[in-house]
Amino acid sequence: MARQYFDVETGVLDRSIFADEEIYREELERIFARAWNFVCHESQVPEPGDFFTNWIGEDEVIAVRGRDGAVRVLLNTCPHRGNKVCRAEIGNARRFMCSYHGWRFDLDGALVGMPKEDVFYRGNLDKQAWGMTAAAQVASYHGFVFATLDATAPPLEDYLGWVGRLGIDFMAAQGEVEFLDGVQKNRVRCNWKLAVDNVHDWYHVGVSHGASLRAGLFDEEFLGPMDQMVLLGEYGHGISGPGVTERQYAESVARLDAGERSVWYDAMVARRRRTAAEDALGPVGRRSFGHPNIFPNLWVSTSPQVCLRIPRGPLETELWWFTYQTKEMSAGQRRRNLYMANHYFGPAGLLEQDDAENWSHATRGAKGAFARTLPANLAMGKGADRVLVDPSGQARVETVVNEHGQRWTYQSWQEWMRAGSWRELIAGHSMPPTGDV
C-alpha cells in the first residue's frame, strides 16, 4: 500500500478504505494472515477430539484438541483438491473425513487413509507430505487460544503487550472463565473496520442509542459517562471508555465498605474488589471500565461477551458473539449474564441494531464515485490531552469523550498495511504515544 490513507497529524481518513476491493485483498494478506487471531477459548474444546471451527480473515480453521491434550489449529481445506474438510461448527471427532473423495485425517492433520488407496494410487502417494496444513503458531493466554499463519510473528504475549493482555485480564480477574455453547452470528453490510473503531467510540452513545436511553433501558451515566480513560498498546491494541480517577475509586471503595452504592461505577468497583483483580489489573487497569480491542478484530466487551468482527469482503462483516461466565457465578448471576448477552448486543441486541445501521450507511457512503473521495474526520481531542505514566509503568490518557483510540487504530492499520513483513512491522511500527496527544 503506497498511498497515505490516514493523516496522523490531522486525524483525517480517506473513506475509500471502507469499500475498496484491492485494499481488502491486501488486508487479508498483511493483517489477518500475519496477526495473532482469536480462535476459541480452551473451555470450548475440553476433551481430546473436541473441535471448533473459526476464520482467520477468509481462511477457515479448525481448532482441535489432540489426544496429547494440545490444541492445534488446522486450515479447514482439504490438501487433495481444496474442499472444506469439517462442515460442523463444533463437535467431537476421532478423525476428520473430507466429503468429496473421502481422504481421512487424524486430529493432528496427518493424512491417514483414503478409499481404495492401494487400487488407485498404487503406492505413489507420499501420505506424510499431504496432511492438512497447520497454523504456523498457536498459543493461549488465560485460556484464549490465538493462532497466526505467519511463522515470523513474535510470541503471543509480546504481540498482545500489556494493553492486549489487560483486555483479557479484565475477564480472567472475574474468576475461572468458561465459554457457553452457541455463538450468536449475524451479518452486517458494513466494512469490518467500522465495527472495530466503534469499540472506542463513546461519542455516539447519547445519539445512536438515544431511544434505549429515553426508554429507560440504560442509565445515561452508566452508558455514556464523561470520565474516560484511554490505554494504547503496540500493534494497534487499545482500551477506551469509562474510567475513574484514583480519588473516585477510593471514594467508591469507602462507600462499598460502608455498605452503600450511589454512583454508576460502584458496581464496577465492587467487581474489581471482589476478586484478586486489583493486583492483576494494576493501579491504572483496575480503574478502567473501557472496551478493549485486540487488533485486528477481537472486542472483549464489558457485557459478558466477546465479539469477533470477521471480514466477508469489503462491504460485509460477520459478527460472532461468544458468551462467557465464570465458574464462581451464582445461578442468579448466570441468569442475569444470559439476559445481557441476549439483549445488549448480538442479533437481538438493542444496542447492536442501532450501531449496525450506522455502520452500513457509512459503508455505503464510501462507495459513491464522489462520496468516496471525501474525507472522514477523527480529530476529536487531538492535541488536547496528555499521556500520564503511573510509577507501575501503566500509561494512559484520562480525559473526556475523544477519538484517540480510533486514531491509534487507523495509524496502526496503516503501518500494518505498509510493512512488507513482520520484520518490517517490528522495525517500523509506532510505539504508543507519550507526552501530548
Contact positions toward Fe ion, by CB under 5 A? 355
Minimum separation from the CB atom of position 351 to Fe ion (A): 5
Q: Which of 33, 73, 98, 195 binds ligand FES (CB under 6 A)?
A: 98
Give the one residue of 12, 101, 139, 365 binding ligand FES; rule: CB under 6 A: 101
Give the span between the Cα atoms of 386 and 401, in whole angstroms.
Answer: 14
With CB cut-offs between 5 and 8 Å by kind, which of ligand FES, Fe ion, none does residue 265 bind? Answer: none
State yes or no: residue 103 binds ligand FES (CB under 6 A).
Answer: yes
Q: Please choose which of ligand FES, Fe ion, none residue 355 contacts, taking the beta carbon within 5 to 8 angstroms, the exact cut-off set by kind.
A: Fe ion
In the complex, what is the shortest distance from the CB of residue 125 to ligand FES, in angstroms, rounded to a whole number? 12
Nearest CB to Fe ion, comparing residues 355 and 415: 355
Query: Based on CB atoms, which residue is closest to ligand FES, 107 or 277?
Result: 107
Q: DSSP class of residue 118?
A: I
In whole angstroms, the minimum distance from the beta carbon of 32 to ligand FES comes to: 24
d(CA 166, CA 319): 23
Give the separation between CA 106 and CA 312, rounded to whole angstroms.
30
Q: In angstroms, what is the minimal distance from the CB of 87 to ligand FES?
A: 12
Residue 305 has which C-alpha cell? 461477551
Question: Which residues within the stretch 54-93 sit at the binding site for ligand FES (CB under 6 A)?
Answer: 78, 80-81, 83
CB-count exposure of residue 318 (10 Å: 0-12, 13-18, 19+): middle
Provide, rounded to whole angstroms, the least separation between the CB of residue 133 and ligand FES.
Answer: 13
Q: State the Cα–Cα distance between residues 159 and 141, nearest whole angstrom.
A: 11
Distance of alpha carbon 354 from alpha carbon 213, whole angstroms: 12
Q: Which does 80 bind (CB under 5 to 8 A by kind): ligand FES, Fe ion, none?
A: ligand FES
Q: Is residue 100 part of the contact set for ligand FES (CB under 6 A)?
A: yes
Stretch that binds ligand FES, among 97-105, 131-139, 308-316, 321-329 (CB under 6 A): 97-105
Nearer to ligand FES, 40 or 98 (CB): 98
- What dihedral do alpha carbons 368, 372, 373, 378 form, nearest 10°? 140
By beta-carbon proximity to ligand FES, the closer residue of 71 and 78 is 78
What gap in Å lies between CA 404 and CA 410, rounded to an integer? 10
Q: Do the beta carbons of residue 136 and residue 150 sit within 8 Å?
A: yes
Using the minimum distance from each CB to ligand FES, give the nearer residue, 6 or 103. Answer: 103
| CB nearer ligand FES, residue 100 or residue 121 | 100
Collect all residues with Cβ–Cβ distance below 8 Å to 134 and sequence separation of at least 6.
72, 73, 74, 75, 108, 109
CB of 103 to ligand FES, least distance (A): 4
Q: State which residue, 125 or 139, has the beta carbon closest to ligand FES.
A: 125
The neighbour count for residue 150, using CB atoms within 10 Å, is 15
Instruction: Return the C-alpha cell found at 262.
Output: 450511589
Nearest to 227 by CA among 435, 417, 400: 400
* CB nearer to ligand FES: pick between 111 and 232: 111
Contacting ligand FES within 167-196 (CB under 6 A): none
386 binds, among ligand FES, Fe ion, none (CB under 5 to 8 A by kind): none
Give strand ranges (E) for 243-394. 291-294, 298-300, 305-311, 317-326, 375-377, 388-389
DSSP summary character for residue 110: -
Interface ranges with ligand FES (CB under 6 A): 78, 80-81, 83, 98, 100-103
